[in-house]
Amino acid sequence: MHFQSTLVAGIIATLSATAIAAPVVARSDADAATRYVVDKRSDADAATRYVVDKRSDADAATRYVVDKRSDADAATRYVVDKRSDADAATRYLNSKAIGISSDLVIMPNYPNGPRVAQQLRPNGSQAACDPCRTRKVACDHARPACSRCRAKNRGSECVYSANAARKVKASDNLLPSPVDAPSVALPPRPPKRPRPNIRLGYTSALEESQPSFSAAAHSNLYGHISPSEQPQQDRQVIFSELPRPVRETCMAVIRALPNQRDAQMVYLEGEFQAKGWLHLAAHRIVRWLQTVLAESPSRSEQETVERVAEIISSNTSRSMRGPFADWESWLNSFVGPNTRWESIGLLWTHMERISDILDALIPRKLVRSETNTSSQTAAFHVDSCIRLARHFIDESDLLAELYRRRSVLVSFAEGELGLKMWEAHGANVNYMIFLGLHAPDTSTPYIPSAWSENNRRLAAATFVFDKIEVMLTGRPPLISHRFYTAPLPLDLRDEDLIAGSTTLNNAIASLDERGWNTDGGLYPSTVARARCMMALIRDEVIEVTMSNGRNPSLEYLMDLKDREYTVVAEFPSSLRYDPRDLEITHTEIHPLYMKILTHLEHLQNLFFIDRLLIRCGYAIRDNLLENSLALAGLALHLWIHKDQFADAVVQRSFDWIMLSYGAPAAGILCQEALGTGEHSKEPNISRATIIQQLSLLVGFFDWVRPSAPNAKFCGNCKAIIQQVLDQCLNTSAETSGPTFPVWDLGDQPDFNFELMDTFDWLRPAEQ
């Protein structure tokens, strides 16, 4: 009974305790439920944020894919550019290994700034428009119509067919928006173009490998830019962002200019008279440099030079292609506030009087400083200017002019026969061909201007110089008459080219039907036309001589000879040589010098043709001995009367004149003196006359100073002629005979070009 009571009491106590604890538990559960709801709301908010984040991630992923596609396109262009840069860097390092002078041809392409987007196929090339592809001519790919179609007023026919462009990405068709122009207002620059992949296939591959200018680049073969029609991407060069080698080169070039810290040239003050476009250009360039380099005394010298270098670099980064409507627009594109690195390079060639033969005789106001005693200084700085120009732009009419003058400068500084000369000449010819100046577009009417006439003169001078190099080195020509179709320059005065349109039009109207002047004047263009006409015939002789196993017919050689006489007969009276000119006392010696040079080239052509007639075994009477005496005598006239021809520009040419004209003639005269010649005998030419001419030739070659670039070659010629004279004068008539003794002469004057190598009889081992 007691047990039961105890059990009942325990149950009651338990129930009571449970009843008391129940409200507490309920309250805790309510709190937990509240927290659960709050947590759920937080989870809901987190889920919302998660969805938002996911959407953001999706958008970011979309942008990432777009960016990766853009990066892939950029990477493709980057790889192409880096390959080009790697090739350029390899050439640059190779050139540096053999010395700074080898940079005369090998110019490194430094990394460029931001590039403008271009329309590229997957293989990196662009499609030409349908009319250009049909005609197989170069197309600049401008939209909506390329410049060639616009120039022919066929813009509506300029269509890029779907088949040609079907693989071009839509994103590539977007042109960049223009940017603000720099402080100096200049024509805009097209985007930097990769070099065309030129192969021996043919023009369709070449044309389609030409990357395009942007739509605003209105260019024909000469790349005419018309900024007023459609603006295009422009780039302001930031000097501090340029590679260090470029910055250092810029500073060194500017500091060598007049009135600067390391000045190597001086500009003479006084009255200025413009004798031609480069005289006027040099004057304006120097005046602008004097202003900007001294305009802020508060700025440090370093800051001033950097600022000027930045302006010049920005100018150079803009296109310099024609056509130009008048001489002022052409000149203003590279002088004054538009000065370029090519302009600075032309100052150095102008100072060294490197120009056409006649213009080089005109005194300059820009001269060497007292510390500058060598033409190699100018060659070094010209090379630097070319490298800088090539860093900022690929195509420039002015750069072609600088290449041409640089090759002439190197010939005077280094001689005609060395590798440096051959490299410089090769760069000159290659760049002229790259711009197409050797074969300009003749489908549209020609309008003479200072720009267009200078391009014609440039091409003619390069072609003539190429033949001179063949004569002296025996190497094949770099450009053949078969591919040279540039018209001859018109016989216009330089002063007329930089005069008003009325004066120029009157001068053009006064020319005869063949393009010669009718006022009896002798101008640089007169000489340029004449020399190019004779060089075209000389190139045919070279082609016949250097062709393997080909013997020309007698009719062909006689036709060459007749054409040579016809060309010379066409010369105006102001250029036609008369032997009586040598007997007249001249107050103005320059016209006589021009007549002598052109007549020497005429005699050289006849000399080569007569040599070919003998080599081919044609049994006709030749005039080889007579021409040899005339060549030697006329070349010697310049040296004998060097007091008349005292100009330094004339006298620096004596050695190459004698090597080109006197030395080959000397070989024939030596054979005649020894009685071993193959030519027809001339009864009216005495042995004493021949010995007298040979003695004078020895005197000239002995006169050449040992430091002259061609001194070694001249010394070899002197040694040969001297021994021939010793043989003739020390041997009695009874013991002399037709055989020639074998001498150990060491270095012999080996011209390599067969028709000039008239000393080949000295090599009995080759007989």
**pLDDT, averaged in runs of 10, over the chain (767 residues):** 48 46 44 50 50 47 45 44 45 40 37 37 64 78 81 80 42 33 38 40 40 35 32 68 95 95 92 84 95 83 94 93 89 95 97 88 90 92 97 95 96 88 96 95 89 96 95 90 96 92 94 94 95 97 84 91 96 92 79 94 94 81 84 93 87 88 90 73 79 94 88 87 88 51 46 61 48
Q: How far apart are CA 89 and CA 91, in angstroms?
A: 5
Q: Which residue is listed with tokens 């100009």? A: 647
> What contacts 98, CB < 8 A, 6 or more positions away?
none
* Pair 210, 147: CB distance under 8 Å: no
* Pair 687, 674: CB distance under 8 Å: no
Q: Is residue 380 part of a domain?
A: yes
CB atoms within 10 A of CB 247: 17
Strands in 611-696 per DSSP E:
none
How far is C-alpha 256 from the chain's CA centre? 23
Q: Three-class SS of residue 457?
A: helix
Which of 400, 420, 435 is the last residue before a domain boundary? 435
Bridge-partner residues for 396, per DSSP?
Answer: 320
How far is C-alpha 395 from the chain's CA centre? 9
CB atoms within 10 A of CB 596: 18
Nearest alpha carbon to residue 195 among 182, 206, 183: 206
Q: How far apart are CA 348 and CA 253, in angstroms?
A: 11
Which of 384, 414, 435 is the last residue before a domain boundary? 435
Question: What single-letter amino acid sits at 128?
Answer: A
Q: Is residue 652 part of a domain?
A: yes
How many structural domains compose the chain?
Answer: 3
Domain ranges, residue 627: 623-767
Q: Is residue 107 part of a domain?
A: no
Bridge-partner residues for 265, per DSSP?
Answer: 368
Q: Is the pTM of this model over 0.85?
A: no
Give the pLDDT confidence score for residue 253 in this predicted structure. Answer: 97
Q: Is residue 299 part of a domain?
A: yes
Q: Assign 3-class secondary structure to 188-212.
A: CCCCCCCCCCCCCCCHHHHHHCCCC
H helices within 209-299, ranges in order?
Answer: 244-255, 277-292
Instruction: Return the sign of the alpha-carbon dihedral for residues 713, 716, 721, 724.
Output: negative
How far is C-alpha 496 from the chain's CA centre? 27
Q: Is residue 176 part of a domain?
A: no
Give the pLDDT confidence score for residue 273 in this predicted structure. Answer: 75
Which of 435, 465, 482 is the last residue before a domain boundary? 435
Q: Is residue 33 part of a domain?
A: yes
Q: Is residue 701 part of a domain?
A: yes
Q: Is residue 190 part of a domain?
A: no
Provide long-range contacts, Cβ within 8 A and 24+ apart, for 80-87. 80/124, 80/194, 81/112, 81/115, 81/194, 84/109, 84/194, 84/195, 85/109, 85/111
Give the pLDDT confidence score for residue 753 in this predicted structure. Answer: 57
Give the pLDDT confidence score for residue 588 in this predicted structure. Answer: 79
Instruction: Return the sign of the alpha-carbon dihedral for residues 660, 401, 383, 350.
Output: positive
